[in-house]
Amino acid sequence: MSTTDYTLLNRQLEALLDTRDWLTNSAQTCAFIQQTLEALNWVGFYLQREPQLLCLGPFQGKPACHPIPFSKGVCGAAAREQATQRVDDVHAVADHIACDADSRSELVVPIVHDGFVWGVLDIDSPQHARFSQEDQAGIEALVATFVRQTDLPRFV
Ligand code: SME
């Protein structure tokens, strides 16, 4: 996997997000990531629209699982622990929720605003161990740009 220039991608995303609207910006962000990073099969947002429940939001990829409680799956763990989950082999995680059988590795970044879990950004790859620590840091920086440039409404 070639090294990704996340500094450049972050500047491009900053320019792309020229509204403060959560729906527009979340749709643009997952489309941007899907188009610019290699070897991904699913990129999307899950939003806490009911207490402790992640509801499917804008995404790129196959139709996906909905809803996901905070108590389940890799997405639930990211929301519950408010910590990024980087999984090299999803088959090795008993709690993994398989939406797309092609997925082999996964990165889930929580979106926390004012101490509240607004949602998560979930990224899946058909490649084993697709996401390095550098990818994690780069994608967390992209999520930070999304949060900084978006008005995030409280749904619950
Ligand atoms: N694999 C996730 C579910 C979401 S799909 O990958 C789109 C999980 O275990 O939480």
pLDDT at 17 over 90: yes
Measured from the CA of 46, which atom of ligand 1 is nearest? Answer: 4
Domain ranges of the chain: 6-148
CATH H superfamily, domain 6-148: GAF domain (3.30.450.40)
pLDDT band at 2 (very low <50, low <70, confident <90, very high): low
Cβ of 135 less than 6 Å from ligand 1: no
CA distance 105 to 122: 11
The string of pLDDT tens digits covering residues 47-84 is 999 999 999 999 999 999 999 999 999 999 999 999 99
Ligand 1 near 86 CB (within 6 A):
no
Q: How much is the pTM?
A: 0.97
pLDDT at site 146: 98
Q: pLDDT averaged over the chain?
A: 96
Pocket test for ligand 1, best of 99, 125, 130 (most atoms within 8 A of CB): 99
- Going from the C-alpha of 19 to that of each of 92, 113, 131, the distances in angstroms are 40, 18, 29
Locate all alpha helices (DSSP H) within 58-115, ordered by sequence.
73-81
DSSP letter string, 10-58: HHHHHHH--S--HHHHHHHHHHHHHHHSSS-SEEEEEEEEETTEEEEEE
